[in-house]
Amino acid sequence: MSRIDKTRPPTARLVLTLALAPTISLGIGRFAYSLLLPDMRDSLDWSYSAAGLQNTVNAAGYLAGALIAARLSRRFPLLALVQAGTLACVLSLALCALSGNFLAIGLARLLAGLGAAVAFVAGGTLTATLAQREPERASLLIGLFYIGPGAGILISGLVVPFLLQGLGPGSWWLAWLALTAIALLLALPLLVLRIDGAAARQEAEVGSFAIRPVAIYLLGYFLFGAGYIAYMTFMIAYVRDAGGGALAQSLFWSLIGLGALTSPWLWRRLIARGHSGAVTAIVLGVNAVGAALPMASSSLAVLALSAAVFGGSFFAVVTTTTAFVRFNYPQAAWPGAIAAMTIAFGVGQTLGPFATGAITDYTGSLDSALAVSAATLGIGALCAALQRPLRR
């Protein structure tokens, strides 16, 4: 049993405050785009390829941020990087509202991806460091950081569909403004957060990371990035095409968010055994099943089940990778290892949206997007299953 210093803030509170970063940068900054996409496509006359390209640009920014995150962690405290990345994401939300120009929106999406990756890598590393204070609860504490995206998805799902319905066609830019205001309010506790000197000293350490021993695991995570983003980009359009109005879209998106919020408790016992890639493979396999369900039926009941299964597993996959890094690498190597995972993930989600959008334009059916998503996730699970522990 570890000793807890009662003179400093509870670790869980610190981690939950850090979780506001992915709430803003991913839950709102990246994923809310899918809620706005149908109205933006109609108003701005975008093809599915063009719509997917905007998420590809966002993912390219995320990839660039992941590439520089470990290097930045050598020069700056991780908390400062989390705060700066989050502010960049808030700014990007405001920029999306200012113009319907495709290039301008693309630049805003690029900034959002860059800030999100820096905040996410730095926040994940800092969370893993803080979790060492309470080893018996480390898996749960790490999981708390990853409820952030689910919270952002839930918030945007409860707001955006009804806002678009109430304001009418062409109101997408007002929804971006509303999201900007929400994100700014959420950012305030994070911007005033302070972490004690012991954690600050730990933040400065960066060790080496070798790709070869985890190449198959990185391939699985790459495929996860490509597969999950296809589902998250086009599913609201799929729900709308199936006859779902604002209420159905809100319920669908909120179920994904609620699933992501509950995933730390749902998977924490399994994640605590995540020394190999088997745990990632199991969670990723469940994610593939969630993505495949709409191909069986487009009824609202099946779509709701798909959202719940997918939401309850997709960010748990990310949690398993952080746990894998914590179990298999010395603490000084965590920033580099988490950055490498994020790069593999980032390459996948950079290629996924545009490729899936192009396939959808070619086939004329969003069913093809779901088929590509589910198949990619399934293959990713098989790759992760082949990864063995690096150390005991």
Q: For the domain that residue 214 is a member of, what is the CATH number?
A: 1.20.1250.20
Based on C-alpha coordinates, what's the Rg of the chain? Answer: 19
Residue 125: band (very low, low, confident or very high) from pLDDT cuts 50, 70, 90: confident
Q: Is the pLDDT of residue 204 over 70?
A: no
**Which amino acid type is present at position 176?**
W
Residue 273 vs residue 113, higher pLDDT: 113
pLDDT of residue 391: 63
pLDDT of residue 240: 86
CA distances from residue 116 to 2, 60, 207, 233, 255 in whole angstroms, order as listed:
33, 11, 23, 17, 23
Q: Is residue 158 part of a domain?
A: yes
Q: Is the pLDDT of residue 4 over 50?
A: no
pTM for the model stands at: 0.83
pLDDT of residue 353: 76
Helix (H) or strand (E) holding 52: helix 48-75
Q: Is the pLDDT of residue 199 over 60?
A: no
27-46 per-position pLDDT tens digit:
999 889 989 998 999 999 99
Q: Is residue 392 part of a domain?
A: no
Question: By C-alpha distance, which of 119, 113, 114, 117 is closest to 78?
Answer: 119
Residue 1: band (very low, low, confident or very high) from pLDDT cuts 50, 70, 90: very low
Q: Is residue 55 part of a domain?
A: yes
Q: Is residue 162 part of a domain?
A: yes
Q: Is residue 3 part of a domain?
A: no
Contacts of 172 (CB under 8 A, 6+ apart): 36, 39, 40, 43, 164
Residue 197 vs residue 319, higher pLDDT: 319
Residue 194 vs residue 218, higher pLDDT: 218
Question: By C-alpha distance, which of 126, 90, 84, 125 is closest to 108?
Answer: 90
What integer is the mean pLDDT of 216-227? 94
Q: Is 24 left (phi over 0), alpha (psi -120 to 50) or beta?
A: alpha
pLDDT of residue 55: 83
What integer is the mean pLDDT of 375-384? 96
What integer is the mean pLDDT of 40-60? 88
Number of structural domains in the chain = 1
Mean pLDDT for all residues in the chain: 87
Q: What letter would DSSP give residue 26?
A: I
Residue 242: band (very low, low, confident or very high) from pLDDT cuts 50, 70, 90: confident
Q: Is residue 287 part of a domain?
A: yes
Q: Is residue 390 part of a domain?
A: no
pLDDT of residue 203: 45
What integer is the mean pLDDT of 104-108? 95
Q: Is the pLDDT of residue 158 over 60?
A: yes
CA distances from residue 381 to 279, 306, 384, 390 in whole angstroms, order as listed:
10, 18, 5, 19
Q: Is the pLDDT of residue 187 over 70?
A: yes
pLDDT of residue 192: 92
Residue 364: band (very low, low, confident or very high) from pLDDT cuts 50, 70, 90: confident
What integer is the mean pLDDT of 351-369? 81
10-20 per-position pLDDT tens digit:
888 999 999 99
Which residue's entry shows tokens 């359009």?
A: 237
Domain that holds residue 369: 11-385
Q: Is residue 335 part of a domain?
A: yes
Residue 82 vs residue 147, higher pLDDT: 82
Listed range (274-283, 284-293, 363-372) with the worst mean pLDDT: 363-372
What integer is the mean pLDDT of 184-192? 95
